[in-house]
Structures are given as C-alpha cells and as structure tokens.
Amino acid sequence: MALVNTKKMFEMAYKNGYAIGAFNVNNMEITQGIINAVAEEKAPLILQISRGARKYAKNSYLKAIINVVVAENPDIPVAINLDHGDTFETCKEFVDDGFTSVMIDASSKPFAENISETKKVVEYAHARDVVVEAELGQLGGIEEDVVGVAQDDISQHLADPNQVEEFVAKTGVDSLAVAIGTSHGAYKFKKEPKLAFDVIQEIAEKLPGFPLVMHGSSSVLKEFVDLINKYGGNMPNAMGVPEQAVSEAAKMAVCKVNIDTDLRLALTAKIRQVFAETPAEFDPRKYLGPGREAIKAMVKHKLHVLGCAGKAAECM
C-alpha cells in the first residue's frame, strides 16, 4: 500500500475511541524499531520528520527508509508528517517532497495571523491531497528548534475553546494540536501534571467529530531514565505525561499523540548500558541493535496505551 494521509485513520480513531501514535524518526534504527513493533501489533502508523531530523539525515535518506517501510508492510497504513513546520515555505517544501501530512505551527503568532498562515498552507496542501495540522495555544518545554512557554506559565497558554470554531471554519484545517498542559522534552514538569481534559471536552462539543492532537506527550519512562543514570547519565527529576492521562485523552477527541522523547531515551539507555557492560565494544551493530530492540518494546507498549494495537485493517 502506498503512503496514505491521516483522514481515514482519524475518522476511525475518533469513532472507536483510540489514538494513532505519531513517532519522530531520525535514522534507520529508530525507524526499524518503530515499524517492527507496529507490524507485530497490526497498528496504523504516523512517522514524523522534524526540521532537525531533516538537517541531520537529509530528507532523501529518511524518505528512502520510509519507502522501504511501506513496501515491506503492505498491510500497515503509514502516513508521513512534517512536525512543527514554522512557515508556509517549509510546509510547501515538504508537500512537494511527497509528505502526506504537514503541520503548520503559527501558534506563537496573533490569532488572526495564525489563521492567515494556516489557511495559506491548507489551500496549497489540499490541492495535492495532503492534510494539514495546526496548533492553538502554546506548549511548554524545548524540542529542537521549538521553544515553548516557561513551565510555570503552561496553564496560562492553553487552547481557548471559544476560538476553535472560527479557526477551523476560516482555515479548513484537518486536525488541531491543542495545548492542554503538556510540554516538550524530558523535563516537562516539576510535579505530576493535571491535563486540561475539560478543554478537550469543550472543544469536542463545539467541533463534534473533529480530530485533536496531543504534542509533548512522551511519558519519560522511569526504566530508561534509571538506566541512563545508572550508566553514567545525569537526568535527575525527568518527568513526563502519565500514561493513564494519555489513554484517557485517546478515548476522547484526541486522535494523534506525538512521541519523540521516549524514543530517544530508549535508544540512549541501551547504548549506555552496552558501553558500560562491554567497554571494549566498538561495533555499532552491537549497540545500535539493542537500542533498536528497546525502541521496539517501548513502541509495542505505547500502542496499547493509545488503544490502536490491532486497528491497522480498519484504517486502510
């Protein structure tokens, strides 16, 4: 099956109360770990490429890897998304490169400007059968080039449910990333967060059937933080979004959940463990391989947290 956009995925996710995992990829091992998990669990898949990933690995290499994923897994619907495109020109470039979904993030701009920029991207993308995600409100934390609001200010920058109807009507956007108290990075919170489920519910009532997206949703799994710290790392007080909260959101109007930090932690933890336990090791296959397996196990777990395991066929 060729690459698909997310329309059918989100339709079925909303209808049946689950969310699709959107996993950021930077190299072959990360991508293999993700698809190996997804193939075994028969789940739909969104692979995301950020501007940082493109700078690191070049889009031509990443697209070639993803083309192999699609060719070797005809029973798995796969969408490829630009994560946090900051301008129309960036989104246009990724549309022209064959992406099936792009995100335009103009959330830091005034509301009217966010509408104008998003509408421009939507008009260009829709003419080429590409779907568009936009953002309302602002997240906290830092991820590559994306710098969010300060941690203490997250609750002051939540998505405003009173803006969503106007925003969607004027832009024609296909899905909406809404700030509900999540944050980018491994150090999301100083204490366990309380996500604004009331915001999700109010938006769902105003836009019934419309798919929402959670960014900054890695759980910063303790097993990987502990491994990193055990083998020479220094990640005290790393804290993410509780998986129970992610599962609850996935049963509501949230149809896409972004996961990046947990992939990095799984890979890094296993590499550190191999280096510490076998310090003479210099074969990349002997440390990247265990890292890939750690990613696979983590992603399999996440697919059940999101509820999308076994849902590939209905999303085709």
Active-site positions read 83
Report the chain's C-alpha Rg in angstroms: 19
Using CA atoms, how far apart are residues 19 and 30, in angstroms rounded to an integer? 21
Of 188, 253, 179, nearest in space to 221 by CA = 188
158 Cβ contact partners less than 8 Å away, ≥ 6 residues apart: 137, 178, 179, 180, 181, 196, 199
Helix (H, G, I), strand (E, B) or coil at 143: strand
For 207, phi and psi rounded to 5 degrees? Answer: -130, 70
Of 114, 101, 34, 14, nearest in space to 302 by CA = 34
Q: What is the DSSP letter of 141?
A: S
Of 105, 111, 216, nearest in space to 154 by CA = 216
